[in-house]
Structure 1
Amino acid sequence: MSALLPALADPTDEPALRFPDGAVTYRELAALASDLGVRIAGRSRVAVWATPTLAAATGITAGLLAGVPVVPVNPKAGERELAHIVASSAPEVVLAAPGVELPAALAGLVRIDVDVAGRVPGAAGTTRPVPVPEEPPAKDPALVVYTSGTTGPPKGAVLSRGAIAADLDALADAWAWTGADRLAHALPIFHVHGLVLGTIGPLRRGGSLHHLGAIDGQRLAVAVAEGATMVFGVPTHYHRLAADFEADPDAGRTVGRARLLISGSAALTAVDHARIEKATGLAVRERYGLTETLILTAARADEEPEVGTVGRPLADTEVRLAPLPAADGEQPDEGLGAVEVRGPQLFSGYLDLPEATAAARTADGWFRTGDIGRWTESGLLALVGRQATDLIKSGGYKIGAGEIENALLEHAAVAEVAVVGVPDPDLGERIVAHVVPTDRAAADDDLARGLVDHVAALLAPHKRPREVRFVESLPRNAMGKVQKKLL
């Protein structure tokens, strides 16, 4: 494999990374990262205190250059989760910005401060980067990223250098992503969205990243005015941006000068799709993937996106829909299937968990995503939900929670919604919709009945909610995903 970060092999004075705590060119980053890389070379693994800072991004880059697997640590992880991650991954070193107080779980590790403010080796171009080891084999691990742990303690997904390179190159093809692009976002960099796509991605292309720290309409408009061509975000970001743009139309028009708006990590509602496009003139493109698989499908830059879908499989990526578990008396699945995938970007396995790794794959080697999907007439993948929480078996039918949620979001009275199945002695499970109303004062029995009738008319009577519960908000994790188990 060629270098994972080729632009650092022969660095220039073009901008590479910009965070709220500082900015570096490729020449400066190569000098900093290679100098730090020599200090960690040969270690089994290195933890990085992954705050959204230049120091953390430099530490991650140093690990990649030195061929040392990086364990990005969520700075908001609880005491128990953090202790589990440290015990599981057994890093020898932790990298952090000077002066940052680290929690007790990291206290036993050798600490190396990443000082980007006080010293930039070779900043003037007079000093060449310190030599680092030759490019490791493609199969070697680059990252160990811990899953959310919704079904037990978090598991460390081992992502190889080759998997990351293959996925980013396939996304470059889908999005026409080049070194001329400047990416803007405010995503955390301990997760694959903000880390692999949002930080390593620009560096692999030879472009640049402008990390905003936090996102709002005015801040993003300034970034685009300064040259940002691509924007990454999660649905929560776009929901808030839509409101910002409605209050400040000039900001929306400025953001519309970007080339691509990309959303991921959860489904963007049809309502917010329409609001963003009205404000900016740009249609948001969605993509789909998991920690273990990186990105699998994406709406392409050269095609108009279709709301409610996550695009086509990337180059060299295969996606199939396997039959869902059946029981006597159940109705046909109406095109729904369990999403299974294979491709060069899949993880190597869960760290030191061979049984869990084997259980995640089918007998013929496909990865079970746990998602439910269907193909549209145009050959795009639409996700209906998760098998664990979004496949509702009611009255002999298999029903996807996602399509009910999308239908409800087309109603003007619904701001947010989460649909779940709850045990029912007659139906097996009954459909319950948790609705955040646009007007709390209007949330009454008449509105609930209206929402039920709305779904029955749009979809089918057997897919209508049997109960509507009005709530102030929906529980979400750090990536903006609704935590349905809490409902």
Structure 2
Amino acid sequence: MRKPLLAAIAGSADDRPDAVTVAGRSCSREQLLGAASAVAARIAGAPVVAVRAEPTLETVVAVVGGLLAGVPVVPVPPDSGPAERDHILRDSGAALLLAGPGGAGAADVASGPTVSAGAAAVETILVDVTERAEWTKPEPDEASTAFILYTSGTTGAPKGALISRRAVAADLDALADAWAWTPDDTLAHGLPLFHVHGLVLGVLGALRVGSRLVHTGRPKPEAYAAAGGTLYFGVPTVWSRIAGDPAAARALRGARLLVSGSAPLPTPVFHTLEELTGHRPVERYGMTETLITVAARADGDRRPGCVGVPLPGVRTRVIAETGAEIGELEVTGPTLFDGYLNRPEATAGSYAADGWFRTGDIAAIEPDGTHRIVGRASTDMIKSGGYRIGAGEVENALLDHPAVREAAVVGAPHADLGQEIVAYVVADEVSERALIDFVATQLSAHKRPRKVRFLEALPRNAMGKPQKRLLPPA
């Protein structure tokens, strides 16, 4: 029988004063539990609680307090604008907003007990990490909702994904198995605390396993170098910056695993990290709705462009047209969400007729079970001249050119081909023709870009994912 989600926080014989460190401030697990218990006592009975998810100890205390009380937690990005924050608060039905003193949400408290965002008005509670209480109630049922996590909203207003305690526990246990993650580890990262990667894996993972956590506040190379981790989490933007700082990268040689996710890690960055750190990075794949489902294992093969094999308990399949090597990835297993909040039609539409979740990502599965993610079905499956082409494959080929630092590939309407391949690149002193010819020598000729557009930088979100919908017209 699976142990309760928060079981490892209490009663540890090897608790240490710096068990949890965020942006230079530390506490023991006992202190964390005491402060979170005080939060739980204040919010018990609320239907939903929002947390202003800044990279602070207060955020960790607030999230754990919500989970202790059995109140679904809604992380709110600290940089969200009024419209986004209003939508999240209204759509989730949050009755309370937890914030740390000095945070942007806290300033509103001076003039009253509520934060108002358009039509949404919720009571704000300031989190005090020095406050203590004893919480003796048993953990809520594992089927109950732990989080309401809002998707990126690339196809409309963000939807709230209902994530159960059971799904979180199953995912963290599977990842601990895959990465040989133990209490002897120190997890270090500087990822946002409102996404699966930074919050669920990067905070609850350490708390559940019992390992030490060092959150660097911001993911700067020098902060990673000084963190003393055995296990590091990052997104490609973070790893690219570390690869560009040889001194910081070499400081990670003492680590055990470097984990990259949330977007494909460019092949040149993979090889540079291997050269400087001595480690071949571990890549993994997941979504808000599924948590992490596929990952390279600590004791397994790690290849650039590949995200590993299904985690224990997870099954995958690729739905492809006859004769095609790539198709839409579908998954099933214990880590899946319980649906979108108040969106039954959207929930139903995200599943195949036999109950498998449709990820919307295009993938290929190698004979040994290793998965390659080619891109999103909506933006990264290009149909040109009768061929089906994955944008990710062309992007990787471009990134193999020594002058190219970033690349994004899309399909643009074309009268004859249906779609033509257009590449947006950040590069140094290389011509359009040279890049087109380079790809043609690396891949089939029909996969070469027809146009190349040069940019100063690709538009990206907080997790480092390229935002193709924000690219200029081809």
What's the TM-score, normalizing by structure 2?
Answer: 0.94
The aligned counterpart of 2:245 is: 244
Equivalents in 2 of 1:132, 1:99: separation in Å?
Answer: 31
**1:105 aligns to 2:117 (yes or no):** yes
Equivalent of residue 296 in structure 1, options 293, 302, 308: 293
Give the conservation status (yes or no) of the 8 Å contact 1:21–1:54: no
**1:450 aligns to 2:453 (yes or no):** no
Equivalents in 2 of 1:44, 1:240: separation in Å?
Answer: 41
How far does residue 410 in structure 1 lie from its aligned partner after superposition?
0.7
Equivalent of residue 176 in structure 1, options 180, 183, 189: 180
Give the conservation status (yes or no) of the 8 Å contact 1:139–1:160: yes
The aligned counterpart of 1:420 is: 410
**1:285 aligns to 2:282 (yes or no):** yes
SS in 2 for 1:388: helix
Equivalent of residue 349 in structure 2, options 350, 353, 359: 359
The aligned counterpart of 1:125 is: none
The aligned counterpart of 2:55 is: 52
The aligned counterpart of 2:99 is: 96
How far does residue 80 in structure 1 lie from its aligned partner after superposition?
1.2
Question: Residue by residue, what CA displacement relative to the aligned partner does 1:261-312 show, whole Å, maximum 9, x if unpaired?
Answer: 0000000000000111111101111000000000010000001301110000
Give the conservation status (yes or no) of the 8 Å contact 2:35–2:131: yes
**1:138 aligns to 2:139 (yes or no):** no
Give the conservation status (yes or no) of the 8 Å contact 1:16–1:29: no
**1:310 aligns to 2:307 (yes or no):** yes
How far does residue 360 in structure 1 lie from its aligned partner after superposition?
0.4
Equivalents in 1 of 2:131, 2:49: separation in Å?
Answer: 22
**1:101/1:386 Cα in 2 relative to 1: closer, same or farther (>3 Å)?**
closer
The aligned counterpart of 2:88 is: 85
Equivalent of residue 192 in structure 1, options 193, 196, 220: 196
Question: Residue by residue, what CA displacement relative to the aligned partner does 1:146-205 show, whole Å, maximum 9, x if unpaired?
Answer: 000000000000000000000000000100011111110010001111010001100001
**1:263 aligns to 2:253 (yes or no):** no
For structure 1, the 5+ residue unaligned runs are: 122-128, 327-331
Equivalents in 2 of 1:253, 1:272: separation in Å?
Answer: 14
Equivalents in 2 of 1:108, 1:353: separation in Å?
Answer: 22
* AA at the equivalent of 2:336: L
How far does residue 11 in structure 1 lie from its aligned partner after superposition?
4.3
The aligned counterpart of 2:127 is: 114
* AA at the equivalent of 1:41: A
1:333-372 to structure 2, matched below 5 A, reads: 333=324, 335-372=325-362
Equivalent of residue 158 in structure 1, options 155, 162, 172: 162
Aligned length: 458
SS in 2 for 1:256: helix
Equivalents in 1 of 2:220, 2:464: separation in Å?
Answer: 16
What's the TM-score, normalizing by structure 1?
Answer: 0.92
Greater CA deviation, 93-102 or 142-151?
93-102
Equivalents in 2 of 1:212, 1:274: separation in Å?
Answer: 25
* AA at the equivalent of 1:112: I
For structure 2, the 5+ residue unaligned runs are: 106-114
How far does residue 254 in structure 1 lie from its aligned partner after superposition?
2.3
How far does residue 120 in structure 1 lie from its aligned partner after superposition?
4.8
The aligned counterpart of 1:126 is: none
SS in 1 for 2:219: coil
Equivalents in 2 of 1:382, 1:98: separation in Å?
Answer: 44
The aligned counterpart of 2:386 is: 396
Give the conservation status (yes or no) of the 8 Å contact 2:78–2:104: no
The aligned counterpart of 2:23 is: 20
**1:431 aligns to 2:421 (yes or no):** yes
SS in 1 for 2:378: coil
Equivalents in 1 of 2:237, 2:367: separation in Å?
Answer: 29
Give the conservation status (yes or no) of the 8 Å contact 1:28–1:120: no
Equivalent of residue 460 in structure 1, options 425, 437, 444: 444
Equivalents in 2 of 1:183, 1:465: separation in Å?
Answer: 41
How far does residue 10 in structure 1 lie from its aligned partner after superposition?
1.7
Equivalents in 1 of 2:123, 2:455: separation in Å?
Answer: 47
Equivalents in 2 of 1:156, 1:425: separation in Å?
Answer: 39
How far does residue 473 in structure 1 lie from its aligned partner after superposition?
1.0
The aligned counterpart of 2:108 is: none
Give the conservation status (yes or no) of the 8 Å contact 1:38–1:132: no
The aligned counterpart of 2:470 is: 486
* AA at the equivalent of 2:66: G
How far does residue 472 in structure 1 lie from its aligned partner after superposition?
1.1
RMSD: 1.5
How far does residue 2 in structure 1 lie from its aligned partner after superposition?
2.4
Equivalents in 2 of 1:256, 1:75: separation in Å?
Answer: 33
* AA at the equivalent of 1:298: A
Give the conservation status (yes or no) of the 8 Å contact 2:38–2:131: no
How far does residue 483 in structure 1 lie from its aligned partner after superposition?
0.7
SS in 1 for 2:302: coil
Give the conservation status (yes or no) of the 8 Å contact 1:21–1:53: no
Equivalents in 2 of 1:150, 1:252: separation in Å?
Answer: 34
* AA at the equivalent of 2:288: T
SS in 2 for 1:398: strand
